[in-house]
């Protein structure tokens, strides 16, 4: 079933209204949908490199708005909606883990997890359930989701189809290095301040 859904998302990337569908998928993935927008963003950027940054902006805006929905689901509808969503994706115990992480590391959790292939919906729902600062959540979401999508768009625009193969094979490594760079920057700023 998941493979059929993935194939359908790939097919939407060639649809005349692909940018609209890209926004819908990006929004939904941040709160309840299982397929990341990368499945559409990659073929769309390869087909129209001149629009890569536009597509990244669509993903960023829609993902952040979807993240706000996930936050509110976690904050106000945890038992009715969030627990079944997290359980459906095998993350039923994620709330306790993320709540502890939010208490210990705060914004760094959002910055790191927003870049990685770990489902962002888990972060958004857990942030709401933990009643993490909405303003900090929003700012970190803009930074991390923007960094993720614009980096992907830049790589695809700069290197084309070979970048797709590289990205698909090494997505975890790329996301991990980018996340470490962001955290190192924040640590450096903290010590310099």
Domain ranges of the chain: 2-192
3-class SS string, 23-56 = HHHHHHHCCCCCCCCHHHHHHHHHHCHHHHHHHH
pLDDT of residue 192: 46
Percent of the chain with pLDDT over 70: 77
pLDDT, tens only, 108-128: 778 777 766 567 888 888 889
Lowest mean pLDDT among 31-45, 69-83, 99-113: 99-113
Please give the model's pTM, rounded to 2 decimal places.
0.76
């Amino acid at each position: 079933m998941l493979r059929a859904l993935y194939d359908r998302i790939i097919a939407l990337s060639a649809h005349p209204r692909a940018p609209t569908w890209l926004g819908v998928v990006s929004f939904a993935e941040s709160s309840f949908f299982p397929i990341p927008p990368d499945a559409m963003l990659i073929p769309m950027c390869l087909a129209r490199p001149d629009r890569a940054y536009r597509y990244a902006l669509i993903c960023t805006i829609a993902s952040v708005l979807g993240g706000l929905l996930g936050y509110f689901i976690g904050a106000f509808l945890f038992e009715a909606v969030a627990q079944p969503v997290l359980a459906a994706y095998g993350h039923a115990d994620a709330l306790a883990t993320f709540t502890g992480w939010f208490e210990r590391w705060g914004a760094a959790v959002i910055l790191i997890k927003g870049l990685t292939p770990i489902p962002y919906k888990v972060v958004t729902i857990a942030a709401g359930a933990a009643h993490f600062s909405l303003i900090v959540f929003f700012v970190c979401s803009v930074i991390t989701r923007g960094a993720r999508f614009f980096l992907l768009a830049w790589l695809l625009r700069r290197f084309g189809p070979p970048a797709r193969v590289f990205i698909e094979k090494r997505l975890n490594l790329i996301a991990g290095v980018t996340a470490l760079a962001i955290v190192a920057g924040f640590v450096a700023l903290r010590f310099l301040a």
